[in-house]
Structure 1
């Protein structure tokens, strides 16, 4: 796909209004496993709130590169007049177009003071005078997006920060900016390595903060290239997971919104103040109805995404203001656990139930998303959310009223193409498992493969957050932040993916001393590993890649989200990540047809029979899933082949 022209400037360290900090974790975890029961751990119910996803406004969607002091000042004034700061929005982010690539003899950025009277410090000062924070933009390459994709201004060579990372970050901080979005047009064109490049930029941001004392929040914006959910946590509070929600010159659509949302769900990467970013919002912009804007806001909130409005704020209507400022929807987005919501059910194709674990005990947020063309009754089951069939209160967040107190489930009508957003509160958590340990936990039991919520009890009596590395079953590690707790223990939460059984290992390196962990089920994300009889290795999607057409392969079983498949016996789909189906490429029916992942579409080349002899046959082709050439090594590709009864065509689905 083409490198996306522009990206949303987004960010904002926490500040939003709300969050009750009590996380009542079940103390005596029932030990539902065979074998020796884990010892009782010194876990705590005290939830430590993590930095919340940034909220604010960004200039790109409404103005592209045509920004100057007057444009931004009018947006600041409208932002304040609309009451957005009181709702928790705190950033005004200036995107591409403010700078045309000029520098002085010392290499310092210079701007046209006819457009920016007093320079960039003056506009940062004006933004601060209103009690809010200021954001700015650059590119990781030598030439930025304004050079490769000029939009309303002539091509601007030199409009990137390559070769000047430390100098530019320090200059932004000295000007008074609190946030910087770093785009990838130049980085992509030059073939820079995203991980090492953004690490250098992150280091430059840290150095600037140390020099000026002003925190500078970094938004990594490389459009999901090279799977940043694998490496971006810890580099900055947010990273883009996909291309622009719409491109300059086009009109946003609800389809754009759904695509951005689908590409943004990477639950094991989002935790402790680090967030997947599906791009700035198009709520209230031409192309979306009010109902679609509400669904848009609901989807960003259930996924815990940064909330960056992108419309011209001088055109705000009362209806759009009410959508953007709904305090109950914002509270879900800004929940103190900082976790991401995930799809927990899709009994009928297109009728999707998303659930998010909230602070406190027995509390969940839910979005019922109807992607079909007809109004449908949809049901959320407590059992899918990790709750028992005990009474809980159901509240409709857009109606702003309680709608039921019930156990087991709740059913409501959802309009065609629309959604309903709920909270389920005061429920009873399903049985959890508790483990002692100061850094590493082995013998962790999971009744099924799939996503679990882990509450980590620790004490950090310093004044700053402490970074650590979390590794699960040899999967790709992730950075975790442990905020200060004071002298008494507190806990933070992460999502991890485990395999079925009692041999899971969860370990932390560099963490403060831990008291223990509580591992909680999320049954709606239970799945299975598909293990080759001949290889002993699992069906795997390399490097957590989500791109359509990515080949399925063999790899050592680790139970990661890229190896956990959900099988729907009615639809006969094998689904990974919640929305990608195992697919016979291009509806192929011949030996050697590639087996890949693709957006689920209901076609027969995405349907599989799980047979009693251990084979998996493609419904369209009638051929078997096969480890090509009877290969057994990591990285061996999977294909279709005429069924022959050999072990490279036999699989254990468990």
Structure 2
């Protein structure tokens, strides 16, 4: 480096003296005037998403025995009970209103003796009370009243197949705001559910555009053909199970818990799309107040649609207070729109469910005791995705703060009952933020363990309507995400995504009208952590095909992707649990070579217990045989079976 000329040296010295004087002056000034503190980087606000529908439906109490007067009396009782003030909006007329007759043009006709003024008259009456009206049909040619007569003779032709556009437009012209489409005919005819409901969804959209009246579609195919895989984007709600109560039966806790277990598909529920475990039985004969509260708590923690099914004209004030409890309803209707997940089961039957709520450091919690004795159940902040910093615990039913606790809270929970809490003011566990590597694509996304994570997606949507995109996480089933308007500022919506341990995860958003996408932020929910079971020979993972939850579904090999159907929790009870409630099972207590390895409701039997051995084998406790990739095959779809342990690499597994 060359020295500067002499005249520049002189100028530099003069400038240095001046700068030194200015610095001394500034330093002195700082002794008297401190600058404002630096502002923390702002986090885009969470954008509220459409919440799950709330209302009342006629089926549970009246089956097909309905007419104008029955519905009118329920509407009057609905209003008198204060349900609208609690957020209940829909009065839904279920099966039985139509006996399958059409005129020469194919238009639905009804018995005007039972429905004076036709169906538009009852819709008008519902609207006159400031409420929304719902109606019912079937996806097949013949509806449920034909296959399962319930209080009326069998009625052929009471389905909408062949008339989807015509019927949806008719419903909208009559003034209905909601349509439930059942699956009796579709099931009997062997229709493809995804294709069928896509056509119905298109017909609903056309009808809404024609009349200007939005029509909410309820997909009701009982969880068959796995609607959580394809219904997001087609409808705001889809049934995940069979009916919660059958005609002529009384409410059952067994049915209640079964429907709740079948509705937990957190990756599908987001941005205004909801898993539906069926209507409520709260307030029906046969349930105690404690059982009613358990019912409400489980539906609320899962963010389910709340459609009461009791006879409102005979409802007690106690039942009304349970249905309208503002803090419990607020959990269900949380504007972040996520589903609660199981985060702990330290002892069989003592379960903890947590739901990530809007805001920072807020969680709803349900402690569920499935045993026959009163037990203590503990919720740990760390399982909820919070640090061990102190947080406030509130009993939601009592509407009472219980105090501030540092790492956990333990409650005494009655046999078969629940305690419902809100944990607030907690400190969120460390999260990670990722910018897109290309439009809509985020790579190198990390997770400390395989399991469910909350992913906040920052975006800008300056239009007046929501935009949609298809989200693909690794090789999992894609889902449709909705992005409500944000104005000119950036906001976030949230999804729950299964990620694999490590930093090789990718999330991709595609679509023809993407919003302006920003960064994503990943928040772990450690209580959901599990492991991939990876075959040494194949390099593929133990998988339950197509996110199926049916008992008896055989496990298989598939490309590892970290989805909920590949995340296995090895419990202290030697169970390998998937979906939070299904155990890897040697079918029918089999002990011979070739016994199918399936999923089944966890029941504590020895055929659901496994030894994970240091040599990489996994042996069934009951059979003493090894978990084996059948025929030493390595391709996707290879079935998993039991086989005599032989040291082969198709019997060696790694849990990560």
TM-score, normalised relative to structure 1: 0.93
Judged with a 3 Å threshold, the aligned counterparts in structure 2 of structure 1 residues 102 and 43 are, in CA distance, closer, same or farther, namely: farther
1:549-564 equivalence runs, <5 A: 549-564=552-567
> Could you say which residue in structure 1 is the equivalent of 2:483?
482
Pair 1:459-2:465 in alignment: no
SS at match of 1:378: strand
Pair 1:532-2:535 in alignment: yes
Tell me if structure 2 keeps the 8 A contact 1:44–1:457.
no
SS at match of 2:493: strand
SS at match of 1:233: coil
Of the three residues 506, 516, 521, the one matched with 1:513 is: 516
CA displacement at 1:198 relative to structure 2: 0.1
Tell me if structure 2 keeps the 8 A contact 1:43–1:515.
no
CA displacement at 1:521 relative to structure 2: 0.4
SS at match of 1:259: helix
Residues 82-134 of structure 1: CA deviation (Å, up to 9, x unaligned): 00000000000000000011111111111000000000000000000000000
> Could you say which residue in structure 2 is the equivalent of 1:609?
611
How far apart, CA to CA, are the structure 2 residues paired with 1:466 and 1:457? 14
> Could you say which residue in structure 2 is the equivalent of 1:442?
443
> Could you say which residue in structure 1 is the equivalent of 2:652?
650
Residues 347-377 of structure 1: CA deviation (Å, up to 9, x unaligned): 0000000000000000000000000111111
> Could you say which residue in structure 2 is the equivalent of 1:14?
none
Calculate the aligned-residue CA RMSD, in Å.
1.0
How far apart, CA to CA, are the structure 1 residues paired with 2:236 and 2:557? 33
Judged with a 3 Å threshold, the aligned counterparts in structure 2 of structure 1 residues 435 and 43 are, in CA distance, closer, same or farther, namely: farther
SS at match of 1:270: coil
1:421-432 equivalence runs, <5 A: 421-432=420-431
Structure 1 gap ranges (5+): 1-26, 29-41
How far apart, CA to CA, are the structure 2 residues paired with 1:515 and 1:588? 52
How far apart, CA to CA, are the structure 1 residues paired with 2:199 and 2:73? 35
> Could you say which residue in structure 2 is the equivalent of 1:546?
549
SS at match of 2:525: strand
Residues 411-468 of structure 1: CA deviation (Å, up to 9, x unaligned): 1110111100000001000000001124110000111001000000000011101111
1:270-289 equivalence runs, <5 A: 270-289=269-288
CA displacement at 1:45 relative to structure 2: 3.1
How far apart, CA to CA, are the structure 2 residues paired with 1:130 and 1:534? 66
How far apart, CA to CA, are the structure 1 residues paired with 2:205 and 2:86? 29
Tell me if structure 1 keeps the 8 A contact 2:455–2:522.
yes
SS at match of 2:247: coil
Tell me if structure 1 keeps the 8 A contact 2:144–2:185.
yes
Pair 1:263-2:262 in alignment: yes
How far apart, CA to CA, are the structure 2 residues paired with 1:495 and 1:244? 27
> Could you say which residue in structure 2 is the equivalent of 1:582?
584
CA displacement at 1:71 relative to structure 2: 0.2
Tell me if structure 1 keeps the 8 A contact 2:44–2:490.
no
Tell me if structure 1 keeps the 8 A contact 2:239–2:277.
yes
When Rg is computed on C-alpha atoms for both structures, the one with the higher figure is 2
Tell me if structure 2 keeps the 8 A contact 1:230–1:269.
yes
> Could you say which residue in structure 2 is the equivalent of 1:19?
none
Of the three residues 597, 622, 626, the one matched with 1:624 is: 626
Tell me if structure 2 keeps the 8 A contact 1:254–1:287.
no
CA displacement at 1:43 relative to structure 2: 7.8
How far apart, CA to CA, are the structure 2 residues paired with 1:256 and 1:614? 39
Tell me if structure 1 keeps the 8 A contact 2:467–2:483.
yes
Residues 378-429 of structure 1: CA deviation (Å, up to 9, x unaligned): 1100000000001111000011100121110001110111100000001000
Q: What is the number of residues matched between the two proteins?
A: 614
> Could you say which residue in structure 1 is the equivalent of 2:403?
404
Of the three residues 608, 619, 639, the one matched with 2:641 is: 639
> Could you say which residue in structure 2 is the equivalent of 1:123?
122
How far apart, CA to CA, are the structure 2 residues paired with 1:304 and 1:649? 41
1:314-393 equivalence runs, <5 A: 314-393=313-392
How far apart, CA to CA, are the structure 2 residues paired with 1:549 and 1:515? 43
CA displacement at 1:474 relative to structure 2: 1.5
Residues 310-332 of structure 1: CA deviation (Å, up to 9, x unaligned): 01100100110010000000000
Residues 204-257 of structure 1: CA deviation (Å, up to 9, x unaligned): 000001101100000000000000000000111100000000110111111111
1:160-171 equivalence runs, <5 A: 160-171=159-170
How far apart, CA to CA, are the structure 1 residues paired with 2:43 and 2:166? 44
Residues 557-595 of structure 1: CA deviation (Å, up to 9, x unaligned): 011100000011x20000000000000001111111110
1:2-13 equivalence runs, <5 A: none
How far apart, CA to CA, are the structure 2 residues paired with 1:246 and 1:209? 32
How far apart, CA to CA, are the structure 2 residues paired with 1:46 and 1:534? 47
1:226-237 equivalence runs, <5 A: 226-237=225-236
CA displacement at 1:44 relative to structure 2: 3.3
TM-score, normalised relative to structure 2: 0.93
How far apart, CA to CA, are the structure 2 residues paired with 1:623 and 1:573? 16
CA displacement at 1:596 relative to structure 2: 0.2
How far apart, CA to CA, are the structure 1 residues paired with 2:588 and 2:147? 33
* Structure with the higher fraction of residues in helix conformation: 2
Segment drifting more, 438-447 vs 348-357: 438-447
How far apart, CA to CA, are the structure 1 residues paired with 2:480 and 2:114? 41
